[in-house]
Amino acid sequence: MKRKTAKQILAESFRELAKEKNIDKITVKDITENCGYSTATFYRQFKDKYDLIAWAYTWGVTSIMDRIDDDGYEWRKTLLEGAHQLQTEKDLITNLLLHTSGHDSFV
């Protein structure tokens, strides 16, 4: 059984919160309280919430792209999975684009 990493758990916590709140209103404390971790654990993994956002997005895309090397895995399937991921995360991406600002923002 493969266990989730602290980064994955923190990212899931962030995603849960982003379903209910504008991203600019979500704090590191909110993220950590939601999953039962300490802020120290958060800062051992990420420099801020925007670093978490970038990691989570990259991790999701990488998990799809890494399958290309598998025997028999087609590019068409990769593109379909990528489109499906964008559709699934449409509300999160919209929240990111509308409610982040500053030099470390998602944009």
- pLDDT tens, 37-96? 999 999 999 999 989 988 988 877 777 666 666 666 677 777 787 778 777 877 777 777
Q: How many CB atoms lie within 10 A of CB 23?
A: 21
- Name the DSSP class of 21: S
pLDDT at 76: 75
Structural domains in the chain? 6-98 (1.10.357.10)
Q: Report the alpha-carbon distance of residue 54 to residue 7 in Å, rounded.
A: 12
**What is the CB-side half-sphere exposure of residue 2 using CA atoms within 13 A?**
3
SS (H, E, C) 67-103: HHHCCCCCHHHHHHHHHHHHHHCHHHHHHHHHCCCCC
More confident residue, 101 or 10: 10
Quick one: pLDDT band at residue 2, thresholds 50, 70, 90?
Answer: confident
